[in-house]
């Protein structure tokens, strides 16, 4: 048998987050997706996304900076990307990069579900 790692279950968590979103959030409603991810983190299992408390700080930074473009390195489930994208002015873009193909696939689904693709 091979060794197990703390990271072994992490991809399952990302998929479980999307499953949770698809059950409790409203397609196309960014805030319901954000709230669903936050609730998952509190009620089901901790996640490695920014979360609601630090998310409010991120919101203020995005609102104050009013960037034309945002580059995010490390997408995980897409939480920060949708959180930032909802605050950008028309024509501004979030570019998010994820090295893990499974996380990237989940993030694409989450971003699409939120209506931001």
| Segment 18-27, tens digit of pLDDT | 999 999 999 9
CA distance 9 to 26: 27
Note whether residue 2 is domain-resident. no
pTM of the full structure: 0.86
Note whether residue 30 is domain-resident. yes
Contact between 75 and 97 (Cβ < 8 Å): yes
Note whether residue 79 is domain-resident. yes
Question: Residue 43 sits in which domain range?
Answer: 8-113
Split into its structural domains, the chain has a count of: 1
31 SS3 class:
helix
Identify the pLDDT of residue 90: 94
Note whether residue 3 is domain-resident. no
Q: What is the pLDDT of residues 39-77, one digit of tens each?
A: 999 999 888 888 889 999 999 999 999 999 999 999 999
Closest CA to 35 of 55, 64, 57, 9: 55
Q: What percent of the chain shows pLDDT beyond 90?
A: 77
Note whether residue 78 is domain-resident. yes
Report, as an integer, the average pLDDT of 11-35. 93
Note whether residue 86 is domain-resident. yes
Note whether residue 26 is domain-resident. yes
Q: Residue 25 sits in a domain of what CATH number?
A: 3.40.50.150
């Amino acid at each position: 048998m091979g060794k197990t790692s703390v990271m072994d279950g992490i991809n399952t968590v990302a998929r479980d987050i999307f499953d949770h979103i698809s059950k409790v959030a409203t397609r196309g409603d960014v805030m319901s997706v954000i709230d669903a991810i936050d609730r998952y983190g509190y009620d089901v299992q901790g996640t490695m996304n920014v979360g609601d408390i630090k998310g409010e700080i991120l919101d203020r930074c995005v609102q104050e900076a009013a960037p034309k473009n945002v580059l995010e390195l490390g997408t995980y489930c897409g939480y920060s990307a949708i959180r930032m994208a909802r605050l950008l002015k028309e024509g501004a873009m979030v570019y998010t990069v994820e090295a893990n193909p499974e996380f990237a696939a989940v993030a694409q689904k989450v971003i699409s579900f939120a209506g931001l693709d």
